Amino acid sequence: MSNPLCLSAALLTLLSLVPSPAPVLAQKAPIQITADLTDAPHKRYHAEVDLPVIAGPLTLTTPQWIPGTHMPNGPAQAITGVVFTANGQTLPWRRDDVDLYQFHLTIPQGVTTLHAHLDCIVTTRVTQKMAVLEWEKLLIYPAHIPVREIAIQPSLKVPGGWGIGTALAPLGDDSYPIPAAGSTVRFAPTNVEQLQDSPVITGQYFHEFPLAPSISPKHFIDVVSDYPEDSNLRPMLLAELGNLVREADALYGSHHYGVYHFLLTLSDIAGGQGLEHGQSSDNGVGEKGYADDAHQLRDADLMPHEFTHSWNGKYRRPVGLYQADFATPQQGALLWVYEGMTQYLGNVLAARSGLETQAQYRDRLALSAANLDYKPGREWRSTTDTGVAASILRRSDPAWANWTRGQDYYQEGELLWLDADTLIRKMTANKKSLDDFEKIFLGKGGNTGSLIVPYKFDEVVENLNAVLPYDWATFLHDRVDKINPRADLAGIEQGGYKLVYKDKPSPTERGQAATPGPRGRGMDCWYSLGIRVGSDGTIGDVLWNGPADKARLGPGEKIIAVDGQIFSSDALRAAIRAAKGATEPTHLIVQADAFVRTAEIDYHGGERYPVLERVEGTPAFLDDITKPLTTPEKAPTTSKKDEEQ
């Protein structure tokens, strides 16, 4: 699956950071694993695994730290029905008392192959019409060995008539995407590291579309859906995804995969996913997530973000986030590069490819920047700490999230890299940009195929200096390691715009409100009352020391009435407008736990919504950043998008 390696001296130096794979595998034959998804509609996966063994004690393990999830969320609790047999006899086993992902057993004399049967209870990413296989749900392999050194031969069974989408290469004459009923699809041998990195989607309503055929290697989007009409993607969307492939090719100037598959699930039940892989990405949205331009806007950056991770996060990865096995804890101090830069580049690519307009990009940037600027938790927690603590923040309670902070390394990183991009453009009269840095940093070694090349902070600084000599170490340290009570808005301002608040939401915010997700339509009063309210009146979060906090409102409470009217978003909005310039507070009836009480919010500033406003007479670098680098492909249909809205 990988292209031939052609490595520069610099890349060879970098590769010295990675433990070299053994020239000869310790095992004589690859592990054989057959994943059986024919029972997927019943929320069960099965696996038959044959492992080459020798007599004596053996410790097997399942994955714990899954790359890209930044937390120890391996599926050990869902793996069940584990039975080991050898030469027709069942072998006893014992789980490790400390590492609950490990199994201990003793292999009898004369046994060379151990058979393992296991089941996995799967309650997410599966419906009656589709399923997603993350191989870690069924993997079992020898512990204490680098996973790249463990050879494995995968096979797959799916319900009859279900198509298959994956970046795994078929073996010999075996073919997919639609195997015959009851057949087994065999894939080419690989290793455990690459198999875990190669998910599979399968479903009754399956389509595969080639993208940007002029670009090598080949790119596809594989789609499954719960209803047949959804997986037949619109021509305009396919054209925009083709643009995405061309824009990424122009931006990064290299590829680190032998083939690339965008895997897309369209389901209100099995959606809600975005996970990077080296040669594919697992993208899950609602059933109508890409049905039209209005729905598409909500997830316009999803596939550009996960695609960018093939370069930033998979090929180039911070040393602390790459471990030779799936058992050693990952270290997230540089997630503001791994995820933050990807957040920036993914949004830029969404605009350059036409998945969103330049105006929509600016509107979404305004929402992100304002959210960070109204996050009191930045008064005590640095951006770096949100990365270091990523594994616990991903499980954190949403209550008072603005004070605890969450995975802010995404959006904080976006503003940081926008700051760096516009600074480079400003200091070079727009002759250089962050694009030049990406070709150096993410393009090392050219077209390498599937590799992982770790980096350290010093290399980031060195590569930035190669584009523009500057005190980049201080620039970065000041923004990520120090306590910064306000968000980094310098990139927006250097880009020719400023963040302001108006009494009407931007066209993009209005459009997103008009196409609510599965949870319904709520109301965002964050920059006025300091609360976010669901469609039923339930308060999602309260701004620390904001007007609602001072009125003693708390997350999880439910607004029953507003100024004498039963709660609705319209009633709350009318109350905010009525209180503007007045002296009378807004009166609420609130349910808190099993009790009902009244509350008064003393706020009189009216509605406030963030937007970016052009600063005339300044260079519009923000517009230059989001202009396409290539000639956009035109689809045979006409989009309703309006650049100026």
**Which CATH number do you get for residue 519?**
2.30.42.10
Q: Between residues 431 and 639, which one has the greater pLDDT?
A: 431
* 486, part of any domain: yes
pLDDT of the residue at 18: 40
pLDDT of the residue at 21: 36
Considering 498, 532, 553, which residue would you say is the last residue of a domain? 498
* Number of other residues whose CB lies within 10 A of the CB of residue 564: 9
* 564, part of any domain: yes
Same domain, 395 and 369: yes
Q: Between residues 539 and 6, which one has the greater pLDDT?
A: 539
Same domain, 35 and 162: yes
DSSP 252-315: H-----SSEEEEEEE-TTT--EEEE-SSEEEEEE-TTTTSSHHHHHHTTTHHHHHHHTTTBTTT
Look at the chain and report how many structural domains it folds into: 3
Residue range 229-240: average pLDDT?
A: 97
**Cα–Cα dist 231/205, whole Å:** 7
* 20, part of any domain: no
| Residue 56 CB-density burial (10 A; 0-12 exposed, 13-18 middle, 19+ buried) | exposed
Which tokens is 222 given? Answer: 């594989």
Percent of the chain topping pLDDT 70: 92
* 230, part of any domain: no
Residue range 426-437: average pLDDT?
A: 98
Residue range 253-260: average pLDDT?
A: 95
Percent of the chain topping pLDDT 90: 87
Same domain, 50 and 177: yes
Same domain, 493 and 511: no
pLDDT of the residue at 395: 75
Same domain, 494 and 513: no
State the pLDDT confidence band at 22, using cuts at 50, 70 and 90. Answer: very low
10 pLDDT more than 90: no
Is 637:237 a contact under the CB 8 Å cutoff? no
Same domain, 152 and 47: yes
Residue range 424-448: average pLDDT?
A: 95
Place of tokens 């905010």: 576
pLDDT of the residue at 153: 97
Considering 498, 524, 556, which residue would you say is the last residue of a domain? 498
Is 122:42 a contact under the CB 8 Å cutoff? no
* 615, part of any domain: no
Same domain, 478 and 515: no
645 pLDDT more than 60: no
Mean pLDDT of the chain: 92
**Cα–Cα dist 332/319, whole Å:** 9
Same domain, 434 and 494: yes
Distance between first and last Cα of the chain: 44
| Residue 169 CB-density burial (10 A; 0-12 exposed, 13-18 middle, 19+ buried) | middle
pLDDT of the residue at 438: 98
State the pLDDT confidence band at 27, using cuts at 50, 70 and 90. Answer: low
**Cα–Cα dist 501/618, whole Å:** 20
Domain that holds residue 97: 1-7+27-202
Angle 122-126-130 from CA coordinates, rounded to 5°: 140
Place of tokens 């797959």: 156
Q: Model confidence over 565-600: pLDDT tens digits?
A: 999 999 999 999 999 999 999 999 999 999 999 999
640 pLDDT more than 50: no
State the pLDDT confidence band at 178, using cuts at 50, 70 and 90. Answer: confident
Same domain, 566 and 488: no
2 pLDDT more than 80: no
Same domain, 46 and 170: yes
Of 266-270, 318-322, 514-518, minimum mean pLDDT range? 514-518
313 pLDDT more than 70: yes
Q: Model confidence over 354-408: pLDDT tens digits?
A: 999 999 999 999 999 999 999 999 999 999 999 999 999 987 788 999 999 999 9
Q: Between residues 448 and 437, which one has the greater pLDDT?
A: 437
Residue range 148-171: average pLDDT?
A: 95
pLDDT of the residue at 14: 40
Of 228-232, 250-254, 298-302, 517-521, minimum mean pLDDT range? 517-521
Same domain, 476 and 519: no
Same domain, 393 and 522: no
**Which CATH number do you get for residue 94?**
2.60.40.3650
Considering 177, 202, 227, which residue would you say is the last residue of a domain? 202
pLDDT of the residue at 182: 74
Residue range 154-158: average pLDDT?
A: 97
* 557, part of any domain: yes
* 406, part of any domain: yes
* 443, part of any domain: yes
Q: What SS3 class is residue 560? A: strand
pLDDT of the residue at 370: 98
Q: Model confidence over 89-123: pLDDT tens digits?
A: 999 999 999 999 999 999 999 999 999 999 999 99
